Structure 1
């Protein structure tokens, strides 16, 4: 019932617009701040490796710590570009309603990466917001550029379904 509401309701598309604008602004500002001020992920990565998430029986996400230590830290320069621009583009996509579900997916992916690295902050609520947008699918971007993108592709798809010679 809630899924149908999120996916089909016009009221839901307006509520999702508000959610998108709020979450998108948060991502956009965070990314732009890192782009404008310069960003160095190496300190964060070193801290995440030195102080991994601990449980009662030791490190909880050993595989993640290994990934950070063996791949992310040696390639910190790559992450210095990917993180700020990823945050900025996720925010832009959410605000404009352009490729909204892709933007929400990558936003959630980054939030989980931050959580696995031991940063709680507002990541759980961001993941929850992103899940609503993902579940809503196309309806989340209906009041945005996804509406026009969807119309363009629907028109092309309708042409492709006609038998040859009836174009």
Structure 2
């Protein structure tokens, strides 16, 4: 097993550390696939043709006691916002999961997955046992996937970044990876 040295700036100090590069790649792909399956499955099971009834976030939004309960009340009390939410949550979870599994538009998927996990974390606010819970750890997984551009390892993004279209528009790499 080969090791690679990396450096980071940490509170003004330069720190160097070693990591097992081949293991890191496998781990990153495993995290991407597991989080992708988690979200793909979560979105899939909310679709009406699978669940047997349409997804409705209204009851949850109206009864949430959290730091963002006011926002949830506005969404639940505004018919078009509630309908938008009822479509976007299952579809968004499904597409985020699909993107992660395929390794396509991974940073974009990780960004929106992080947004959803932040809303879930603040919305659930189940902090009886402390502030660290599954929603916070899910948010951390999306940050890791996005920061390390996990789609560049065994993902569609590695091929997309080689296209002339992307080569001419380097800003697109912020969505890929």
TM-score normalized with structure 1 length: 0.74
| In structure 1, distance between residues paired with 2:134 and 2:77 | 24
The match for 1:22 is: 34
> What is the CA-CA distance between 1:71 and the residue it aligns to?
3.4
The match for 1:41 is: 57
> What is the CA-CA distance between 1:118 and the residue it aligns to?
2.1
Query: Does structure 1 residue 141 correspond to structure 2 residue 151?
Result: yes
TM-score normalized with structure 2 length: 0.70
Compute the RMSD of aligned alpha carbons. Answer: 2.5
| In structure 2, distance between residues paired with 1:122 and 1:10 | 28
Task: Extract unaligned runs of 5+ from structure 2.
Answer: 1-5, 9-15, 127-132, 170-177
> What is the CA-CA distance between 1:2 and the residue it aligns to?
7.0
The match for 2:13 is: none
| In structure 2, distance between residues paired with 1:2 and 1:90 | 31
Q: Equivalent residues in 2 for 1:12-161 (5 A)?
A: 12-35=24-47, 36-37=50-51, 38-48=54-64, 52-53=65-66, 61=67, 64-74=68-78, 75-120=81-126, 122-137=134-149, 140-142=150-152, 143-153=154-164, 156-157=167-168
Higher fraction of helix: 1
Does structure 2 conserve the Cα–Cα contact (< 8 Å) formed by 1:45 and 1:73?
no
| In structure 1, distance between residues paired with 2:122 and 2:30 | 28
Does structure 1 conserve the Cα–Cα contact (< 8 Å) formed by 2:96 and 2:109?
yes
| In structure 2, distance between residues paired with 1:151 and 1:11 | 25
| In structure 2, distance between residues paired with 1:41 and 1:108 | 19
> What is the CA-CA distance between 1:14 and the residue it aligns to?
2.7
CA 1:130–1:153 in structure 2 vs 1: closer, same or farther (change >3 Å)? farther
Across the two proteins, how many residue pairs are aligned to each other? Answer: 141
| In structure 2, distance between residues paired with 1:85 and 1:155 | 27
Q: Equivalent residues in 2 for 1:1-20 (5 A)?
A: 1=6, 11-20=23-32
